[in-house]
Structure 1
Amino acid sequence: MSDIMRPIPFRDLLDWVLTEYKKNRSIFGVRKVVQRDEEKRFPIFGQTIETVYGPAAGPNTQLAQNLIAAYAGGSSWFELKTVQKMDGRELAKCVPKPCIEMRDEGYNCEWSTELTVEEALHEYIKAWFIIHIIAKEFDLGDPDGIVFNMSVGYDLDGIRQPKVNHFIDTMIDASKDEVFQDCVETSLEAVRSKRLHHVTIRDIRRIPSRISDSVTESTLHGCPPAEIEAIASYMLKTKKLNTFVKCNPTLLGYEYARRTLDGLGFDYIAFDDHHFTTDLQWKDAVPMLERLQGEADELGLSFGVKLTNTFPVDVKAHELPSEEMYMSGRALFPLTIELVRRLSEQFNGKLRISYCGGADYFNIHDLVSAGVWPVTVASTILKPGGYERLSQFYEVLSDIPGKAFTKVDVSAVTKLEKRALESGRYSKPVKPLPSMKVEDSLPLMNCFLAPCTTSCPIHQDIPAYLQAMEEGRPYDAFRIIVEKNALPFITGTLCPHTCADRCMRNHYEEGLHIREVKLQAAESAYDTYMSEPKRPAPKASGKKAAVIGAGPAGLASAFFLSRAGVETVVFEKRPEAGGIVKYAIPHFRIEDRKIEKDVKLCQRFGARIITGKEITDLEQLKKDGFTDFVLATGAWKGSAPVLKEGKSMDALDFLTAVKYGQDSLNLGKDVVVIGGGNTAMDVARAAVRQRGVRTVRLVYRRTKRYMPADEEELRMALEDGVIFEELLAPVSLKDGTLVCSVMKLGEPDESGRRRPVDTGEKKLLPADTVITAVGERIDAALYEKLSVKLDEKGRPVVDEQLQTSRPHIYAVGDGRRGPATVVKAIADAARCAQAIAGAHFDRYEEENAAGDEATLLRKKGQLTAELSQQPDPRCLGCATVCEVCTDVCPNRANIAIKVPGLKMDQILHMDGMCNECGNCAVFCPYSGRPYKDKLTLFWSKEDMDSSENQGFLVLKGTNVRLRFAGTVQEVDVAEKSDLYEPLRKFILEVIQHHSYLLAPGAGEHAEL
């Protein structure tokens, strides 16, 4: 049953760790295993830890394997997942699934362990034991250099109940626990059988039975101050435990939280003030903390606060299947660090603070340097890279000497809080990134793909040319680029780079600078490429193509057709080739020299361009021997009228006038641009630069968040001083005043954007000139003259090969789509050329590897603050090494396995280790759910029957019970059969070489 986690017996856990490390030098998939500096010590609670960070109470501290994986990544402080009186299936039924959403700021709707309290206890004991063993066996550090910190809740009555009380007492002394005793005996057996080579019997006997002597008190929102204090006092006085009290960010007050999140662009996060009024208040918190500190001092124990709990917010956009969820991660950091500042200032830095609230690679050094530690993390290691991110913490903290806590540096925290508000790192972009998923469903096998390539209209081999540039081979990169891209200079400058929007690095820092690397390759290698002898093209028998229009689509058509051996002539009615890029895109966006280089590139294979010649019919061209015709006439017709009264200037007329006759323009002081797309941004930015213009306003009926313009275009317009007048719909222009209806946002429409609703109010704007940029249209005159069938929007109807209703007449680019991107025009041109000449433009695909696997794996989990490097070296090579579902699973339930004879690693899903948190589905680049769609290994018939996943249960030897393609059958995978051969090989590889994955206690792997 997929959402039930089956704890793995200690014997099997130990075997898994020892076998995997010997085989792969990894531990539960963590390849960057940290060897600690044993000279560095951070004293805490009468013990020492070798590093000051680790996983926070949550998904990453629920199972033994989670804790072991975190230790492999360098963690020494482990805040165990919260236990309470409600547990096991009773609690699991209360947690909606999926329960985690970590795309940017994090959300979750789970709160404490889904195991029983007893199972949780035993998971922690097993992890404690194995960490001590591998520290010595693999030389990872001092076995005693770790601390397990309990987390308990949520009220004193529940904590005093026998099962929670037993949990606490056994964590304090586990010597009489049967699982602890089993760990001892099994480990001793492993030593005697030489399974362990560096661990001695004495080492095993010395593993402490005192698992924990500290606790973090975690209470629910709304817990009364007296109850919070009573629990903490109980832990100090009765249990003699070093104690942290977890505080909520609601201590900051509703107004501060709302104002801060709004100012950082998180205004869409919905919450009201009820938690702020019912949670612990500042006036109650300060004296309570003072009293508890006094109690701890009298008892010789440590006391502090844990900052902070997650932040309760409302579910508004179906993020999770619940009504309320808890926010964490990037958006929580500015709130938490402000609470650190306030409490540190209040207590003169003497109050110890355990930190969690958006801690990550970018701020952990500042936190620890300021005396704020230990630091625990959750959101960052639930993102791609997962536990591998922890090793980088070790690296970034390497210059901080080991020492005991003295006090928090209030001035350093104040500076950090100020940077959090001003640096931009914790700000939401004006527009959210579009979905990073491709439309394809997730296949059972062979699923690695590069979302950048898949989302690119021309399927540019992006990882390959990025790799070539990184290795200093610009000519090879350029050759790869121009195989599919006829306009590398134009796309290297103007492309909206949807590839970067879907780049996996967005989940690290930001998308790769793909467009910039393309331009760098073009600038570096163009002259060499153009000077070399042309590759002879096979003549396309009997073909002669006329291309009407020398804009991006027409130029690209000429490039591909002539390369395919078709005699090609382009006819352009304007004096120069380049189309809308040449005549309407402002000079500050693209220089003429770049356009001219692309024009020459498109002529390289013999295409001719005849300018100053307008084609109004095809009869003469047919007489001249042309057999095929490509209509690439663009979308030059002006926008439809917007104003009910008054005149406005058309966007293209304005941009053309600006580019080639700006001295004649007299726009006045106040200019208003109507529209929210990229063209509107160009118009507004061009208007700002005109003589005499004082103010440029851009009017749009929705907010910036819902504008169709790219984030980059919006940002540049804002930087140029354009004023955005949101939620206004223009009505009329009269006597220098634009009358607008004031709108508000209603429910989402079919596109997902919230509908603008008229409020009935009006707003007046000064306007000497109004320019309309709400979408250019296609001039259908030529189509109509040629009797080409049009759709209801006046666009030519085409088939899959872009042929119109008239044979041998094709339509490409904006002239068939309406206003679109240059790269989509190139895609049309390539498809059209393929239809006419039967050519394919993927000659280099097989040789375009993105780099060797080992190099790419080293990049996993490695974030960087340096984003200006060119060429950009951050590519993860997703088509070669994806494995993102293995990264982000806190329970290690998705495993990448090499299968002999198969090109890529295969993903195996472990049913017994999965609680259907859904995190792998969030980050999988496909429109699928790995925990449902990948081949699943079951540990029991009961679990298999309770699941619908395609998968298998090992019966005996190589015999399996298999559910595949809608049927359940018993198969011997050692024998060839009608079974899909790659699937057979996959299952056989698991059985023969990964037996430690099989059902706990089954097979020879259980014999230590």
Structure 2
Amino acid sequence: MSDRMQPIPFKQLLNWIFTEYERFQTIFGIPAAKFYRKQGDGWIEIFGEKLGTPVGPAAGPHTQLAQNIVASYLTGGRFFELKTVQILDRLEFPKPCIAAQDEGYNTEWSTELAIGDAFAEYVKAWFALHIIQKEIFGLDERDFIFNMSVGYNLEGIKSPKVDAFIEGMKEAAGSDVFQECRKVLLEMAGQFKRVDRGYIEAIPSRICSSVTLSTMHGCPPAEIDAICRYLLKEKKLNTFVKMNPTLLGYAYVRAVFDQMGYRYVQLKEESFSHDLQYDAGVAMLRELKVFAADCGREFGVKLSNTLPVQITRGELPGEEMYMSGRSLYPLTINLAYKLASEFGGDLKISYAGGADYFNIDRIFATGIRPITMATTLLKPGGYYRLQQIAALLEPHLGERREGRIDLEKLGALAAEALADRNHRKEKRAVESRKIADTLPLTDCFVAPCTRGCPIGQDIPAYIRLVGEKKYAQAYAVIVDKNPLPFITGTICNHKCMTKCTRLDYDDPVLIREMKRMAAENGCSAYLEELKPAAAGSSGARVAVLGAGPSGLAAAYFLARAGIDVTVFDRRDEAGGTVARVIPDFRISRAAIEHDLELIRRTGVKFVLGVKDELTVEQLRAQGFKYIYLAIGAGKSKALSLQGDTGRVMGAIAFLEQFKRNKETISLGRNVAVIGGGNSAMDTARAALRVPGVEKVYIVYRRTREYMPALPEELELAQREGAVLKELLAPVELKQGALRCQKMAMGEPDASGRRVPVPVAGEYEDIPADFVLTAIGESVDTDYLARLGLRPDERGRIAVDPGTLETALAGVFIGGDALSGPATVVEAIADGRKVAAAIAARENAVVTATAAQNVGFDQTDRRSEICAKKGVLRGKDVPEAEPERCLECSLVCNICTEVCLNRANVQIRVTGGGLRQANQVLHVDGMCNECGNCATFCPYTGAPYRDKLTLFWSEADFDGSSGAGFLLRYGGKEPVFKVRLNGTVLETKLTAAGFAPALPEAVAAVIESAYTNYRYLFQV
């Protein structure tokens, strides 16, 4: 395996394009449905040339190879800022070199190809686009522009090989590659339907009339000025000069990042002090504008370059990387406004710096053009995203042709950027969407939301059913694994949403709301048909101690298995903490009762208000063979606080009292809530509703990005008036004030969270008449000890991890009682596990709901899912949410979408015992191991290493250790060299199959690739 991609010869490139298009209506994996086809005749003019859309890929990974440029054009890109060339070509970059999980980072800055190879790729792409625009789109007139990018110093730009590149891009007719491409096309002319020899011969040889100058950070202003003058006068090129965000100054950039949640981004002040300074930059631009006008050339700025930041969390190899994407947008758009204001709007600005679907129409409306992008195209949907962006701008193409910047619009946009949620860290605070499973060689499609759910809910299935308004069926899918759809549809911490693919688009699907919608609309119809499961033959009885979520779940699944089960609880009502602690403004009693009714109707019996402490011996004496301890963790942990400790109360006790009767509570005017979890948010919101309370402060020792509370819960608390006080640790409550030690974020601990450390001698006093502590809950280990269960040094009870059975035979423990405070859905998972263990011992089976028979037309679904790919949307009303679900378990293909070079290929495979017709094949020769597919693959693996790989050369095959194959000889019975599990063999494909034989699934993939996708082998 090599990290060097291999350019595809022009004839093979064309064969690939048109063979794939004819057979599958796709080109480099992009379906025709994602081709951008203009609805009108609008256009704009740049450098005296017509441009069909003002957008395209920035100089970077999307403009390095011919196929990348083709993919961009097909989906709507028309301005191509080609990847930067410089005298030091054939650079060795540490790999991976791209990390675009959220804000983008890279460590590569110019083309990885030799300059001559880069030139050839651009010429091949130039010809390919002319043929595609005519043959596929029926366009006679070119509507796209190539813009070369060069760097990084004057000496290098004047060198013979860079100069030859520049001159070749200005006039390519004399180059060998130009002549070869024209010759190939003339030989193929008879194969086209719309393209004839006259059209081919008329393809212009002047590829570029413009250049974007990219200089390294720290390049002296005199050097930048000299290069620009050289390009304008000597090379006669319209010129954009790329400017750096460092012009804004360290203090400004640091403050913006801190304000927007990117406090973890580490900057070096010398990156700013050693770079071009603002005043010098403005003076330089003023002189260059005059000089350009004298030369008869257009001149402007490209905003902006990437921002150098320190590698501190192992994002990429090395010590420094370059930031791009949504975090860079507030800086770049403010720099644009600042510079444009210096010139009264008379400054041409080419833009790149976090442009995407959510802001690009507003950027364009200011008069900025063209607009290029990279980071948004690195994310799921990939090149498809350009189609939506181009379509969004199309109605505005005829507007504002005079070329001045609208300072009023740009100023408003710059001001809005700092508060725009789309660019704040909180929008995607999830560190990783990955699941713990290893990436399979075949059949890899998975719904990460389902894997992220502790009970494995069939989320895409019930969301689709909700979208089709089949609510009873959706409810049935849910309760097959979850007996508490109203509770979890209201207060679940929805870990599923932290795995949702749409996190890398816009916002996760509102999965919890979909569950609640199914419950509210489907419960009654389902319950009308529900019959208790028939009693099993074992006669075993089970006692469940605790009527909270875990106990209720265990009882429900046991009853569905036909096992006699009784739930005991010392409270007078079932529901556990959910019922007695969580405030009514979070969940109503009616919602809880709906779930309890489902459980009762399965045949579960309840004994509530138990006053005497039950023991294992008593329960066994009553005939219970199995006992499940689901007693929860209802004791608030104590806070070490000096002073008036009589004015301190635990959150659980407070919330119980609040739920019984808030009128009986007296907290004073000012309340401090200590903690950063969901319980703290509930406590703060409840305290605000207590009579007499005027102000509530949430005191947290870390910063908000480290808070375990769900972001929406904090947002609700703040919206209702709670004030968040970060980096404070309570010390003493005295005379109506809570004295807090000021904290600072130190180094990360083993979990990756930065440890708060005291700031010596610095304190802050917060008005507080009462303190409520929400720093966690603990288990009543004294009761467990009386039952005969001794906790270990961590306070945990030893259990069999597969069954949760304790050292006492037939006695199980789960939920909060086992693990400490956890979530409702984790408690349900424990209850299910215990029920399954008991049912297995009694040879009983938990009956499936009728929903398991629900079926869908997979062909229609695939086309619907494809239509959603690459389409970003803002937050919708819940009724529209099913349209946002990408149904990843049926169609994933993320690794093919995010592959810049199109090295991950989706192919159709039948037979071989495969569950999925769509399989992913990796083409080694097109891959440079940038790592982007590994970033977005939901598994822990990397598709470029772990998927079945097609090799183009023996050397690359032998240099790899992964599973893959090489075509040794073609023909009627082709011979392949195959490696699986480290073993290499040579096998022939005959009419009877492979000899020697291969694993069935692998054989099917290789045979399908060779039979139906032969163009993949042609290089």
Smaller-chain TM-score bracket = over 0.9
1:488–1:519 contact (8 Å) kept in structure 2: yes
Question: Does 752-761 or 518-527 show the bigger shift?
Answer: 752-761
Q: 1:951/1:538 Cα in 2 relative to 1: closer, same or farther (>3 Å)?
A: farther
Distance of 2:950 and 2:254 partners within structure 1: 46
Question: Does 124-133 or 301-310 show the bigger shift?
Answer: 301-310
**Residue 852 (structure 1) shift:** 1.4
Q: 1:38/1:591 Cα in 2 relative to 1: closer, same or farther (>3 Å)?
A: closer
**Residue 698 (structure 1) shift:** 2.6
Distance of 2:305 and 2:907 partners within structure 1: 37
Residues 957-972 of structure 1: matches in 2 within 5 Å?
957=970, 958-972=974-988
**Residue 142 (structure 1) shift:** 4.2
Distance of 1:860 and 1:840 partners within structure 2: 38
2:560–2:846 contact (8 Å) kept in structure 1: no
Distance of 1:954 and 1:601 partners within structure 2: 59
Question: Does 75-84 or 280-289 show the bigger shift?
Answer: 280-289
Is 1:11 the counterpart of 2:11 in the alignment? yes
* Partner amino acid, structure 1, of 2:626: D
Question: Does 838-847 or 478-487 show the bigger shift?
Answer: 838-847
Determine helix, strand or coil for the equivalent of 1:330.
coil
1:989 to 1008, 1014, 1018: 1008
1:296–1:303 contact (8 Å) kept in structure 2: yes
Is 1:530 the counterpart of 2:527 in the alignment? yes
Distance of 2:141 and 2:117 partners within structure 1: 24
Correspondence for 1:59: 61
- Kindly provide the CA deviation profile for residues 775-827 of structure 1, in whole angstroms up to 9, marking residues without a partner as x: 11111344323323533333332211121211221212112221111111111
1:36–1:141 contact (8 Å) kept in structure 2: no
Q: 1:840/1:962 Cα in 2 relative to 1: closer, same or farther (>3 Å)?
A: farther
Q: 1:827/1:915 Cα in 2 relative to 1: closer, same or farther (>3 Å)?
A: same
Distance of 1:822 and 1:234 partners within structure 2: 68
Distance of 1:335 and 1:745 partners within structure 2: 25
Correspondence for 2:832: 830
Correspondence for 1:744: 744
- Kindly provide the CA deviation profile for residues 871-924 of structure 1, in whole angstroms up to 9, marking residues without a partner as x: 412011111111111111111111111111233222111111111111111111
* Partner amino acid, structure 2, of 1:559: Y
2:448–2:496 contact (8 Å) kept in structure 1: yes
Determine helix, strand or coil for the equivalent of 1:820.
coil
* Partner amino acid, structure 2, of 1:689: R
- Kindly provide the CA deviation profile for residues 339-368 of structure 1, in whole angstroms up to 9, marking residues without a partner as x: 221222222222211111111111111122
Correspondence for 2:583: 586
Question: Does 317-326 or 711-720 show the bigger shift?
Answer: 711-720
Is 1:380 the counterpart of 2:390 in the alignment? no
Correspondence for 1:878: 888
**Residue 762 (structure 1) shift:** 4.9
2:47 to 42, 45, 48: 45
1:430–1:711 contact (8 Å) kept in structure 2: no
Correspondence for 1:773: 774
1:619 to 614, 617, 620: 617
Determine helix, strand or coil for the equivalent of 1:676.
coil
Distance of 1:571 and 1:951 partners within structure 2: 58
Give aligned-pair identity as a percent. 48
Correspondence for 1:865: 874
Residues 240-255 of structure 1: matches in 2 within 5 Å?
240-255=236-251
Correspondence for 2:294: 298
Distance of 1:138 and 1:424 partners within structure 2: 40
Distance of 2:740 and 2:597 partners within structure 1: 47
Q: 1:980/1:305 Cα in 2 relative to 1: closer, same or farther (>3 Å)?
A: same
Residues 514-663 of structure 1: matches in 2 within 5 Å?
514-534=511-531, 536-537=533-534, 539-614=536-611, 615-643=613-641, 646-647=644-645, 648-663=648-663
**Residue 636 (structure 1) shift:** 1.5
Determine helix, strand or coil for the equivalent of 1:128.
helix
Is 1:890 the counterpart of 2:900 in the alignment? yes
Residues 653-692 of structure 1: matches in 2 within 5 Å?
653-692=653-692
Residues 221-236 of structure 1: matches in 2 within 5 Å?
221-236=217-232
Correspondence for 2:817: 815
* Partner amino acid, structure 2, of 1:751: S
Q: 1:848/1:37 Cα in 2 relative to 1: closer, same or farther (>3 Å)?
A: closer
* Partner amino acid, structure 1, of 2:805: Q
1:449–1:879 contact (8 Å) kept in structure 2: yes
Question: Does 988-997 or 139-148 show the bigger shift?
Answer: 139-148
* Partner amino acid, structure 1, of 2:208: S
Residues 61-460 of structure 1: matches in 2 within 5 Å?
61-88=63-90, 91=91, 93=92, 95-139=93-137, 141-142=139-140, 144-192=142-190, 194=191, 196-402=192-398, 404-429=401-426, 432-460=429-457
**Residue 147 (structure 1) shift:** 0.6
- Kindly provide the CA deviation profile for residues 281-329 of structure 1, in whole angstroms up to 9, marking residues without a partner as x: 2322223223222233233322111111111111122221121111111
Determine helix, strand or coil for the equivalent of 1:525.
helix
2:555–2:565 contact (8 Å) kept in structure 1: yes
> RMSD of aligned C-alpha atoms?
1.9
**Residue 141 (structure 1) shift:** 3.5
Distance of 1:936 and 1:492 partners within structure 2: 43
**Residue 588 (structure 1) shift:** 1.2
- Kindly provide the CA deviation profile for residues 544-586 of structure 1, in whole angstroms up to 9, marking residues without a partner as x: 2221111111222221111111122111111111110111111
**Residue 279 (structure 1) shift:** 2.1
1:906 to 896, 919, 938: 919
1:743–1:757 contact (8 Å) kept in structure 2: yes
Distance of 2:102 and 2:147 partners within structure 1: 28
Distance of 1:744 and 1:246 partners within structure 2: 37
Q: 1:300/1:742 Cα in 2 relative to 1: closer, same or farther (>3 Å)?
A: closer
**Residue 386 (structure 1) shift:** 0.2
Correspondence for 1:979: 998
- Kindly provide the CA deviation profile for residues 961-993 of structure 1, in whole angstroms up to 9, marking residues without a partner as x: 111111111112442444211001101111111
Question: Does 637-646 or 338-347 show the bigger shift?
Answer: 637-646
**Residue 835 (structure 1) shift:** 1.2
* Partner amino acid, structure 2, of 1:629: I
* Partner amino acid, structure 1, of 2:770: T
Determine helix, strand or coil for the equivalent of 2:418.
helix
* Partner amino acid, structure 2, of 1:587: D
1:133–1:143 contact (8 Å) kept in structure 2: no
Correspondence for 2:961: 948
Aligned length: 994
1:34 to 17, 33, 36: 36
- Kindly provide the CA deviation profile for residues 714-739 of structure 1, in whole angstroms up to 9, marking residues without a partner as x: 22222233233333333344444444
2:107–2:321 contact (8 Å) kept in structure 1: yes
2:702–2:728 contact (8 Å) kept in structure 1: yes
Distance of 1:185 and 1:251 partners within structure 2: 49
2:636–2:775 contact (8 Å) kept in structure 1: no
Distance of 2:966 and 2:666 partners within structure 1: 78
Which runs of 5 or more structure 1 residues have no equivalent in the other structure?
1001-1008
* Partner amino acid, structure 1, of 2:701: R
TM-score, with structure 1 as normaliser: 0.96
Distance of 1:918 and 1:754 partners within structure 2: 27
Question: Does 618-627 or 355-364 show the bigger shift?
Answer: 618-627
Determine helix, strand or coil for the equivalent of 1:397.
helix
